[in-house]
Amino acid sequence: MEAVQRFLRHGFLSYKALFGWLDPKVYIFVMVLSPLSQLIFFSTLVNYVYKGINLLGYVAANALLLCVLNSVFGIMSVITSDRWMGTLPLVIATPYNKASLFLSRSIAHVLNGLVTAAIGLMFGVLIFQLTISVKEGLVLLVIWLFSIFTATGLGLILGTFCLWSPSMHLWSNLLASLLLLLSGANYPFSRMPEWLQFLGQFTPLTRGVQLTKDILNDGNYSNVIVLLGEEILLGIAFFAVSFLLLKFAEYQSRSKGTMEFD
């Protein structure tokens, strides 16, 4: 029980240290209002193109994509900030298990991404005067939780790149654009070229977007277990790769000092 409390407490303190210094107004503008403007833009565009057909599925899919700000930029900032402030060597040197350490630091970003996506869905439903049942909302909550977990794993992999590259904003913006493109949130996934569909199978949120559309537009729950299982396995693989990259960075730092800025 003490280990669980320590795990959760560390995740909370890490998140508070990352954003606690921000003015609440800036935090709300960046983490809530800015993502909502993206949702309104793409949902309005989709509403115009498809003349309102299956609009609820597209609005919800775009709401799920709002988590990218937390799951990619947020978790990336964890490692980047540690390196910038010179605390990363201390984090790496701690005898605490590294996998548990970074997993606990990811939990707050997963939950924050889920809250942002839920707020986006609520605003989308109100703005476009749509309806969603309690059952659909609860199922989406579970699907989105694991989809965001997988996206956070990929964000953690990207975060490790800051140990070798100074252009992290370029990488993170590129990844966010790729997730928007490959998820199929704003068009049928089958309309993409086959090689992009193949690539989309290895990116997070693609299955979450597909399940969201299947449930809200067609009432189809038959693929939930299979696709959700694949999404969870993909998330575990992403976290495993990120831990290996951190171990490699730790090994390199002993000879090249790559954990500190010049």
- pLDDT, residue 71, reads 79
Q: Are 145 and 96 spatial neighbours (Cβ–Cβ below 8 Å)? A: no
- pLDDT, residue 260, reads 62
Instruction: List, for residues 95-128, the tens digit of each pLDDT value.
Output: 777 777 788 888 888 888 898 899 899 999 999 9
Looking at per-residue pLDDT, the higher value among 244 and 30 belongs to 244
| pTM, rounded to two decimals | 0.86
Tokens of 139: 């199922």
Q: CA torsion sign, 198 to 214 to 62 to 41?
A: positive
Instruction: List, for residues 16-47, the tens digit of each pLDDT value.
Output: 776 666 667 777 777 677 778 888 899 999 98
- pLDDT, residue 225, reads 93
Instruction: List, for residues 208-222, the tens digit of each pLDDT value.
Output: 999 999 999 989 999
Q: Are 29 and 9 spatial neighbours (Cβ–Cβ below 8 Å)? A: no
Displacement of CA 81 from its chain's centroid (Å): 18
Closest CA to 187 of 175, 200, 174: 200
Q: Rounded to 5, what percent of the chain is helix, strand, coil? A: 80, 0, 20
In the predicted structure, residue 137 carries a pLDDT above the cut 80: yes
Is residue 2 very low, low, confident or very high in pLDDT (cuts 50, 70, 90)? confident
- pLDDT, residue 236, reads 93
Q: Are 249 and 160 spatial neighbours (Cβ–Cβ below 8 Å)? A: yes
**What is the rounded distance in angstroms from the CA atom of residue 72 to the CA atom of residue 23?**
21
